[in-house]
Amino acid sequence: MRIIPAIDIIGGKCVRLTKGDYSTQKTYNENPLEVAKEFQDFGITHLHLVDLDGAKASHVVNLKTLETIATHTDLKVDFGGGIKSNEDIESVFNAGANQITGGSIAVKNPETFINWIEKYGTEKIILGADCINRKIATHGWQNTSEMDVIEFIKNYVEKSISYVICTDISKDGMLQGTSNELYSEILSEADVKLIASGGVSCLDDLHKVKEIGCEGAIVGKAIYEGKISLKELRDF
């Protein structure tokens, strides 16, 4: 299972939110490149980079941060947040992203998202299935829909999606464990490479999502709050 640390960006700084609430913003480092380099120094190979300004604004804002990290590290970056247009996705790939994550666009403009899957291939496009009470949420989690998360994922499996990041928003930033029941159900219903996101608090959580069959796990606040060390992640 891949370990994928997260760097969330607001105003060019490395921050974390709790349950996606922008009023809970906590800044951990003013230089995201420093953080990314530290991850790389401990043998980390992948990075989940989220443009929280972009998610809110519905267009990519922190492109420069992506470019800086992609240029100065060897990390394979998946980038999400505010990718809404063909111009956005082109600029993100040109800036050095290895993959992009599309959430809101997959809900609000499925035609465009399906076109991206066809154009760039299933290895490049990740479906962002962010949910609360099993209902899909969009626009930096500011809006919720009536769409069931598993039906949403299954619909895109029919459109050839391969990678899915599923974040249970109620768990995100809470350091209280992952949504193992939900992940088990997704994997029993859909043939996808599932990346667990939200709630990782300790190594035991990582072992659990690995046992369930997740292809990857995103780790955020647990690193920044010192709950899991980078050495532990390297050894895992």
Q: Which residues are catalytic?
A: 8, 130
Residue 65 one-letter amino acid: T
Question: Encoding tokens for residue 160?
Answer: 């050839």
Backbone φ, ψ for residue 14 (5° rounding): -85, 115
Pick the closest to residue 49 from 70, 30, 25 (CA basis): 70
Residue 199: how many other CB atoms lie within 10 Å: 23
* Vertex 206 angle, CA 201 and 207, to 5°: 130
Question: Encoding tokens for residue 219?
Answer: 């780790």
How far apart, in whole angstroms, are the C-alpha atoms of residue 100 and residue 109?
16
Pick the closest to residue 147 from 139, 155, 87 (CA basis): 155
How far apart, in whole angstroms, are the C-alpha atoms of residue 3 and residue 195?
9
How far apart, in whole angstroms, are the C-alpha atoms of residue 201 and residue 199?
6
